[in-house]
Amino acid sequence: MVVVQCVEQGVVQRNSQVNQDSLAMVILSPRIAAMARPGQFVMVACSKTGQSPLLRRPLSIHAVDGDCLTLLYRVVGQGTELLANMNVNNSLSILGPLGMGFAIAERKHHCLVGGGIGIAPLLFLARAIRRAQPDSQITLLAGARSDLELLVIEKFQPGVEVLIATDDGSEGHHGFVTELLAEITGDVEVYTCGPTPMMKGVAAIARKHSWGCQVSLESHMACGMGACLGCAVERSGVHEGADKYVHVCKDGPVFKAGEIWA
């Protein structure tokens, strides 16, 4: 497969708070928007050239609307703090679209399982599934610590069944989102992004039912393009030397669950 990406100077159209620590940034970026596929990500320069932080930060493509990309991000450190302070008409350098995204499976039922900010790539995916398979059922299972940390659920509706789980019971099911997945039956493909323990739990349920399961991994990234080897993750099975590892930036971030966890 030919992988095409570019560096584009994006222009901020909107940068608004969606909850206490997360924002949605809409960026005019026509070239990247035209090439982007669900599950892919971009590397964003959060500062001007030569200023700290020097390295770009990886963020999933949350949505594509015409010539614009939306990024949904949680402020956790210097780079995301700088992004949060950007205003309309500021410009920023974006590299992308990067990586291998989700493959939309031929299924009657698609279950998208997001934990916290892991919901970010699932909106773009839900919209693409709806376009590709208008008659299929799509369920979003969204997990968060509390109702205050639930993000952008309303953007999935109408057209997507939404099931919510919160750790403290403040909204939806009182417990883990994996407990909701365990109730699902039938011919299902599972797509998941979120904390690693949650995704491992999702993969275990999918394995039990022999469902297809695609996981979107996170790792620290320096280049985002397969050059620095900083994002290597050990894969399942017995492999020798360099074959023991996959690179989240170029082989992923989306993998079949069995490729990572046996």
**Minimum distance of ligand FES from residue 203's CB (angstroms):** 22
227 binding partner (options ligand FES, ligand FAD, none; Cβ < 5 to 8 Å by kind): ligand FES
Nearest to 53 by CA among 227, 216, 220: 220
Pair of tokens at residue 75: 């402020």
Contact positions with ligand FES (CB under 6 A) in 4-23: none
Question: To the nearest whole angstrom, how small is the minimum distance from the Cβ of residue 251 to ligand FES?
Answer: 9
Residue listed under structure tokens 């397969």: 226
Contact 123, 62 (CB under 8 A): yes
Q: How far is the CB of 76 from ligand FAD (least distance, A)?
A: 4
For residue 5, give both structure tokens. Answer: 């990406």
Q: Whole-angstrom Cα distance, residue 97 to residue 95?
A: 7
Q: How far is the CB of 229 from ligand FES (least distance, A)?
A: 5
**Taking the complex as a whole, how short is the minimal distance between the CB of residue 223 and ligand FES, in angstroms?**
4
Binding residues (CB under 6 A) for ligand FAD: these are 41, 53, 57-60, 72-74, 76-80, 117, 120, 218-221, 253
CA 190 to mean position of chain CA atoms:
14
Contacting residues for 197 by C-beta, under 8 A, at least 6 apart: none
Copy the structure tokens of residue 65: 């609307």
Q: Which two tokens stand for residue 132?
A: 């590709």
221 exposed, middle or buried (CB, 10 Å; 0-12, 13-18, 19+)? buried
Binding partner of 113, given ligand FAD, ligand FES, none, CB within 5-8 angstroms per partner class: none
List the single partner that 78 binds among ligand FES, ligand FAD, none, CB under 5 to 8 Å by kind: ligand FAD
Contacts to ligand FES from residues 215-234, by CB under 6 A: 221-224, 226-231
Pairing of strands 161-166, 173-174: parallel
Q: Whole-number minimum distance, CB 241 to ligand FAD, in Å?
A: 24
Q: Smaller CB distance to ligand FES: residue 97 or 143?
A: 97
120 binds, among ligand FES, ligand FAD, none (CB under 5 to 8 A by kind): ligand FAD
CB 257, min distance to ligand FAD, A? 16
Number of residues that bind ligand FES (CB under 6 A): 12
Does 249 help bind ligand FES (rule: CB under 6 A)?
A: yes
The listed partner (ligand FAD, ligand FES, none) that binds 60, CB under 5 to 8 Å by sort, is ligand FAD
- Residue 44 tokens read as 């964003």
Diameter of the chain measured on Cα atoms: 53
C-alpha–C-alpha distance, residues 22 and 1, integer Å: 34
Residue with Cβ nearer ligand FAD (207 or 250): 250
Contacts of ligand FES in 154-213 (CB under 6 A): none
E strand map for 145-241: 161-166, 173-174, 188-193, 212-216, 232-234
Which positions touch ligand FES (CB under 6 A)?
221-224, 226-231, 247, 249
